[in-house]
Structure 1
Amino acid sequence: MTLIQLGTALTPVLAVFILLVVLRLPASKAMALSLVATAATAFLVWQVPVDRMAASVLEGWVIALTIVWIVFGAIVLLNTLQYSGAIAVIRAGFTQITADRRIQVVIIGWLFVSFLEGASGFGTPAAIVAPLMVALGFPPMAAVVLALIADSSAVSFGAVGTPTLVGIGRGIEGASAELLQAVSVQAIAIDIVVASCLPLVMVLILTRFFGPNRSLREGLQVWPFALFGGLSFTVPAWLVAKYLGPEFPAIFGALVGLVLTTVAARTGFLMPKKAWSFAESAQQPLTEPDPASMPLWRAWLPYLLVVALLVLTRLDFLPLKNWLVASALTWSNILGTSVSVTAQTLYLPGTVFVLVALLTIGLHRQNRHQVKAAWLDSVRSLGPTVIALAASVPMVRIFLNSEVNQAGLASMPLELAALAADTFAGAWPLFAPLIGALGSFIAGSATFSNMMFAGLQQSTALELGLDREVMLALQMIGANAGNMICVVNVVAAASVVNLVGKEGEIIRYTLIPMLYYCFGAGLLAWLFLA
């Protein structure tokens, strides 16, 4: 690969970073310019045929519409609960557990996000938890940043094990169930050391950047509870991965963690002496509900229905999943190319969100004015998100579909990964997670990152005499970390908390935790495991 070809392969990454993070352009402008730059260099240097790029754009638009559907569902559900008064009741309920925002971050931000990731994936955790945290009084920027950071360790087992079973399973030809389970156990074992500290990282970001005193010390005051919250997920998840397999570690680990931390908060175990909160001006003005107006269980019922439906529709041994997946719409051989796309319309979490929002109208006895306001507000908020996704997802598809070209090259991501493996061979375990993160950052999916790079990680491990299971585990962890800065996830999460145009700022907050997660796991493997 020549220097010009290297620059071409890096165009999507550099364009997004410079325009979005450095120049701080809104995603609607930054992603449109990145799409033009990527398409131009792909045609001129990588020599990707025009019809394939056009097909990739059309494929990207179909995928973008599925993401918009998820975002719309999350927004309409939140607005429905806002107008019914349920959010105010939920906020009061959390205050009864603890008024300390640092502890709420561990319980809601870390563990509830992990549970939703295990149940659904597909960007659901940030889309649900970020607006919930805003409604509970967190600043919007803090809510979306913390939700993205939290949606990391659990991603290995997201959507009932999809990144492992499908991502690694398809990325490694002939991968056995035993190998997939061994890789899962290795990944969560590394997480016990590295990811268990992420709740503390989240709390430190909260108090340093969003607290009234901009203090790290105030975050460190809850390090025992934060570490307890981290371990209360990773240790049970390791046990489930070891004895049951990769389908349920995130779900069961998060459930155990939610119970342990809630009981600890109520009983004062490892709790700080003084509660911490934001400056009054930073909190969202919310009217406290009349406790008699709605019981807490009814306020939570829509969220419980969401979780139940997501789990029931993702279990392979139940018929619901097959019924919903069978309704998928497929566009094969777009413009006569090998590019195809499938939209699993009924299987998407957005469908569950919208269904529950409709059910909530009756459950919470809403009048037609409340319903109309909730739905109109949701539709109005989608405009900038549609524009950003309509540019970013096609750019990603051109990048990923670039293996068909007249330059005799592999796809851009594979060429970059192979170059990295050659360049950093002497310390490959340290840098291997970055390949997984690159895949998620561009593709918007840990599953796709694992499918794309698992084979390369395995071949590099065998060539360098490294432990194959450890290297595949590092690939999974890197893909998890990439979720924190993934452009598609950031755009979607920003849109549900009205932060459209602030995507670059969000990535600046999540970049350091992403690098900590990657290099922490890589350093551990380099020194002790591989």
Structure 2
Amino acid sequence: MYTFLALAPILVVFILLIVMRLPAKISMSIAYLVTALLAFFIWHASGAQVAAATVNGIIVALTILFIVFAAILLLNTLKESGALVAIRKGFMDISPDRRVQAIIVAWLFCSLVEGSSGFGTPSAVGAPLLLALGFPAMASVMVILIIQSTPVSFGAVGTPLLLGVWSGITDKQDLAQSIAPTTAENYLLQITANVGLVHALIGFLIPLILSAFLTRFFGEKRSFIEGLKVWPFAIFAGLCFTIPYFLVAKFLGPEFPSLIGGFIGLLIVLPAAKRGFLMPKDTFDFAPRAKWDKDWLGTLDEVKYDDSATPKFSLIRAFSPYFIVIALLVITRVIAPLKAFLVGDLTTISLTNLFGTTISSKIQLAYSPGSILIITSLLCILLFKMNSQAVKRSWSNSAKTMVAAAPALLFSVPMVQVFINSGSAAEVATALPAMPILLAESAADAFQNAWPLVSPWIGAMGAFIAGSNTISNMMFSYFQWSTANQIGLNSDLAAQVIALQAVGGAAGNMISVHNVVAACAVVGLVDKEGYVIRKTLLAMIYYVVQAGLIGMAIIFGQIWWWALAVLWPITFFGLMSFCGKFSRRKLNGR
């Protein structure tokens, strides 16, 4: 009964947001109410705890809205300055094929951004860029969310492992005894190498999947196969990222796999694409805008481009704001003294022990990606010699878009925080663990020796709820190790189970509600969050199932698990192709 009740908030979100496709502001307000009532009346969390979690959620939501505003501001600044004309023409000169553009911008460029910053920054940077290139708003969001999988485990210079997994494997006496004489630091490096391997074995196909999803859901023919036709280039781009990514994870640690993988991938793929290497014979483009489904469109004003006109700026000058963003992100994350200052007491607003609970909240605007995006937007005024009216329009329009996105985030993030902090008070006789922990414990009891197959789903659930691979790893890494230990796996194999947790947590970012809400907000796609999740959910299922099959193959070594891991992508692509044909027949009235 308690397991079902703990699952109820997730079911409410799934039914209202994904099945019924209600706007997130309505779905998440109801989900928040259900979660708060369960926490108070069934889990016996104190009123102070529910209130503290709610306030913490509102603070987190406001920090996300700050990033949303800053991301839209950069887009509007580039638009008003005329730089977007040059950026668009530059990508068109590389390739007019939308599949190729999506792979370069989303898979390579945004993986580089994820490696440097994380915390939703790829959506804030990449989705508006795709929108400017002429992608439908919903397609822009879907493509960016699908890539928030492989690079996420090493996002923000390795934070999901350095903070998330590390907090789960340190100061645990039983774990320390099990891995002795190996230290926790070396054990983390072992887990890092495992994470890199599993992600690389799955992730090299992500460019092909995002291409196929693009043509399936947004192509005029609604054809999954049309996206698969780009397979030589897609797999080439996938390997150009995942090979250096895995090697860095194995030999250098968790800080730079996504950052270096994205950088090397761009260095190889951009000139190759420019020369037509492995380019598809046909060129895919969207239908004329007049034929687009109204659900694809955001509230941002359409900008019409004359691609035959000569841009005011060179491509390098026009794209330089993105170079500035990445440089500032890397500098503020890698230079230890600067990072210490930006997250230190002087620049941090701390709210500790809210309402007398253990829940605390921090506001670190100086360290936020939003501050870097705003600084870059201000530099653009000088860089592109903008007049005051253009600047005023960019700030005003950005504020309006942020306000429209606020209601959904102000309900979804508090719901998440109440869910995570729903554990019973210690003095309650029938004390219960917090809802996500209870769900994980129930899954462990149910699946026993098939646990590696289930382990990525727990990570994905954590990220879906919390909107963060880091928090998912913090919640579940030690639990994953304990479960692996209970079913008789040694410390090396238990490290693989923890790696599956991190991989699943990365994949869960594709469907995390407040990630989706924030990504939709930066392209003005308000109240369409459920439509997006219905698409990215399919990609997430592919990723998590494949991670489980690879995990079972590595841990238990049977050949049939490797066979299933090979067959699963073929099966997935086959099912999607069949569904695409069926959908086309339905559209054509046959």
TM range (shorter): over 0.9
CA contact (8 A) 2:351 2:361 kept: yes
Which residue of the partner structure matches residue 499 of structure 1?
525
* CA shift digits 1:364-409 (9 cap, x unpaired): 1111110111100011112232111111111111111112433311
2:361 to 327, 335, 341: 341
Q: Quick one: distance in 2 between partners of 1:143 and 1:489? A: 14
1:486 counterpart = 2:504 = no
Counterpart residue number, 2:160: 163
Q: 1:83 aligned to 66, 80, 85, which one?
A: 80
Tell me by how many angstroms 1:278 deviates. Answer: 1.1
Aligned pair 1:202/2:202, yes or no?
no
* SS of corresponding position for 1:250: helix
Q: Determine if contact 1:8/1:46 at 8 Å carries over to the other structure.
A: no
1:300 is matched with 319
Query: Which of 362, 366, 381 is the equivalent residue of 1:361?
Result: 381
Aligned mates of 1:231, 1:79 — CA distance in 2:
34
Tell me the secondary structure at the aligned position of residue 381 of structure 1: helix
Could you say which residue in structure 2 is the equivalent of 1:524? 550
Distance in 1 separating the partners of 2:4 and 2:555: 34
CA RMSD of aligned residues (A): 1.4
- Which has the higher mean CA deviation after the structures are superposed, 265-274 or 202-211? 265-274
- Shift in Å, 1:285: 4.8
Corresponding residue for residue 465 of structure 1: 488
The one-letter amino acid of 2:241's match is F
Tell me how far apart the structure 1 counterparts of residues 509 and 242 of structure 2 sit (CA, whole Å): 18
Q: Which moved more, 1:286-295 or 1:166-175?
A: 286-295
Given candidates 266, 280, 287, the residue that maps to 2:305 is 287
Aligned pairs for 1:41-80 within 5 A: 41-80=38-77
Q: Is the 8 A contact 2:200 2:245 kept in 1?
A: no
The partner residue of 2:399 within 375, 379, 404 is: 379
Residue 273 of structure 1 deviates from its aligned partner by 1.6
Match of 2:408 in 1: 388
- TM (norm. structure 2) is 0.87
1:226 to 228, 234, 253: 234
Using the TM superposition, give the Cα deviation of residue 335 of structure 1 relative to its aligned residue in structure 2, in angstroms: 1.1
Deviation at 1:215, TM superposition (A): 1.3
Which amino acid in the other structure matches residue 269 of structure 1? F
Q: Secondary structure of the equivalent of 2:350?
A: strand
Question: In the alignment, which of 189, 211, 222 is matched to residue 181 of structure 1?
Answer: 189
Q: Under a length normalisation based on structure 1, what TM-score does the superposition of the two structures give? A: 0.97
Indicate which of 82, 92, 109 corresponds to 1:95. Answer: 92
Partner of 1:106: 103
Structure 1 distance, partners of 2:78, 2:274, is 26
- Tell me, yes or no, if the aligned pair for 2:43 and 2:423 is still in contact at 8 Å: no
Amino acid at match of 1:219: G
Partner of residue 456, structure 2:
433
Report the secondary structure of 2:22's partner residue. Answer: coil
Residue in structure 2 matched with residue 11 of structure 1 by the alignment: 8
Aligned amino acid, residue 412 of structure 2: S
Cα deviation, 1:181-215, whole Å, max 9, x if unaligned, reads 21111112112221111111101101111111111
Alignment of 1:139-150 (within 5 A): 139-150=136-147
**What is the alpha-carbon distance in structure 2 between the residues aligned to residue 196 and residue 347 of structure 1?**
32
Paired amino acid for 1:358? L
Contact in 2 for aligned 1:156/1:184 (Cα 8 Å): no
Deviations 1:108-130 (A, max 9, x none): 11111111100000100011101
> Which residue in 1 is equivalent to 2:337?
319
**For 1:314, what is the secondary structure of its paired residue?**
helix
Secondary structure, in 3 states, of the residue corresponding to 1:424?
Answer: helix
| Separation in structure 2 between the aligned mates of residue 261 and residue 431 of structure 1, nearest angstrom | 35
What is aligned with 2:475? 452
Q: Is the 8 A contact 1:35 1:391 kept in 2?
A: yes
Counterpart AA for 2:506 = N
- Are the aligned partners of 1:440 and 1:482 in contact in 2 as well (CA < 8 Å)? yes
Change in 2 beyond 3 A, CA 1:354/1:527: same
CA distance in 1, matches of 2:453, 2:199: 15
The total of aligned residue pairs comes to: 526
- Bigger drift between 274-283 and 361-370 goes to 274-283
Q: Structure 1 residue 511 and structure 2 residue 537: aligned? A: yes
Q: Give SS of 1:286's match.
A: coil
2:286 equivalent in structure 1: 278
1:292 Cα deviation (Å)? 5.3
Amino acid at match of 1:176: A
Q: Does the 8 Å contact 2:520/2:529 carry over to 1?
A: yes
Identity of aligned residues (%): 47
Residue 437 of structure 1 aligns to which amino acid in structure 2?
Answer: A
Query: What SS does the corresponding residue of 2:317 show, helix, strand or coil?
Result: helix
Gapped regions of structure 2 (runs ≥ 5): 172-182, 293-301, 557-590
Instruction: Supply the AA of the counterpart residue of 1:145.
Output: M
Q: Provide the secondary structure at the position in 2 that maps to 1:330.
A: strand
Unaligned ranges ≥5, structure 1: none
Instruction: Select the residue among 88, 107, 123 that pairs with 2:120.
Output: 123
2:219 partner amino acid: G
* Corresponding residue SS for 2:126: helix
Farther off after superposition, 10-19 or 147-156: 10-19
Q: Is the 8 A contact 1:71 1:127 kept in 2?
A: yes
Equivalent AA in structure 2 for residue 132 of structure 1: L
Moved more, 244-253 or 405-414: 405-414
Aligned amino acid, residue 158 of structure 2: G
